[in-house]
Amino acid sequence: MAAQASTDNNDHLVRSSDSQHPANLIPELCRKFWTLGWVTGTGGGTSIRDDDLVYLAPSGVQKELMKSEDIYVLSLAQQSDPKNRIYLRSPPSLKPSQCTPLFLAAFTKRGAGCCIHTHSQWAVLITLLLENSPQSQNKNLFEINNIEQIKGFGKGFQKQGALGYHDTLRIPVIENTPHEEDLTESLEEAMDKYPDTYAVLVRRHGVYVWGETVHKAKTQAESLDYLFQLAVEMKKLGLPWLSDIS
User: CB of 7: closest distance to its own copies in angstroms?
Assistant: 30
Whole-number minimum distance, CB 158 to its own copies, in Å?
A: 20
Q: Alpha-carbon distance 227 to 218, whole Å?
A: 14
User: According to the annotation, is 119 in a ligand binding site?
Assistant: yes
Q: Is residue 131 flagged as an active site residue? A: no
CB of 5 to its own copies, least distance (A): 28
CB 52 within 8 A of CB 75: yes
Point out the catalytic residue in the list 148, 175, 185, 222: 148
Per-residue mark of binding to its own copies, 108-147 (x: CB under 8 A): -----------x-x--xx--xx--x-------------xx
197 sits near its own copies (criterion: CB under 8 A):
no
Q: Which is nearer to its own copies, 79 or 177 (CB)?
A: 177
DSSP conformational letter for 196 = T
Contact between 90 and its own copies by CB under 8 A: the answer reads: no
Among 67, 159, 166, 193, binds its own copies (CB under 8 A): 166
Q: Using CB under 8 A, pick the residue from 80, 236, 242, 244 that binds its own copies.
A: 236
Q: Find the DSSP H helices in 92-213.
A: 100-110, 121-131, 184-193
- Scanning 34-42, 80-88, 134-142, 190-198 for contacts with its own copies by CB under 8 A, the matching segment is 34-42
Element of type H or E holding 33: helix 22-35
Binding residue ranges: 99, 117, 119, 205
